[in-house]
């Protein structure tokens, strides 16, 4: 019995030592982002054209005018320290790829990079 326990323990150690952690590489962050991006003049129109048909109160985050900024900030959708790791950017680069043009995506990323101000 003791020998069987030793064999099983040894086998478990060998199996577990062979496990590796798979890491998904982070998306590369574009360079030359737009500057002086205004939330109300530049970012909200992108949401109005591409997002509010689904995200107008029924599906989180609510991206309709008057609500979107607070929803994004309070819902932790933006990371001003690591803009390309922001859930908002990752969604547009992943499951919602193609919903906004490359230029619109860079505008959103530029806004986050500049501190995601409510301007």
What confidence tens digit (pLDDT) does each residue in 91-106 have? 998 888 899 999 999 9
Provide the residue ranges of all domains of the chain, joining segments of one domain with +: 30-113
Q: What are phi and psi of 111, to 5 degrees?
A: -60, -45
- The residue among 75, 83, 84, 67 whose CA lies nearest residue 118 is 67
Specify the pTM. Answer: 0.76
Residue 24 CB: number of other CB atoms within 10 A?
Answer: 5
Query: How does pLDDT run across 10-46, given as a tens digit for each residue?
Result: 666 766 666 666 555 555 788 899 999 999 999 999 9
* Three-state secondary structure call for residue 100: coil
Calculate the dihedral angle through the C-alpha atoms of 103, 106, 107, 110, rounding to the nearest 10 degrees: -160
Nearest to 30 by CA among 98, 103, 119, 88: 103
């Amino acid at each position: 019995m003791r020998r069987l326990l030793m064999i099983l323990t040894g086998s478990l150690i060998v199996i577990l030592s062979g496990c590796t952690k798979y890491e998904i590489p982070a998306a590369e962050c574009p360079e030359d982002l737009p500057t002086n991006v205004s939330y109300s003049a530049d970012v909200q129109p992108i949401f109005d054209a591409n997002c509010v048909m689904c995200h107008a109160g029924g599906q989180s985050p609510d991206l309709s005018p008057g609500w979107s900024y607070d929803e994004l900030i309070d819902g932790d959708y933006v990371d001003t320290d690591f803009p390309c790791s922001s859930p908002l950017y990752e969604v547009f680069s992943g499951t919602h790829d193609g919903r906004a043009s490359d230029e619109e995506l860079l505008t959103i990323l530029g806004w986050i990079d500049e501190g995601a101000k409510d301007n």
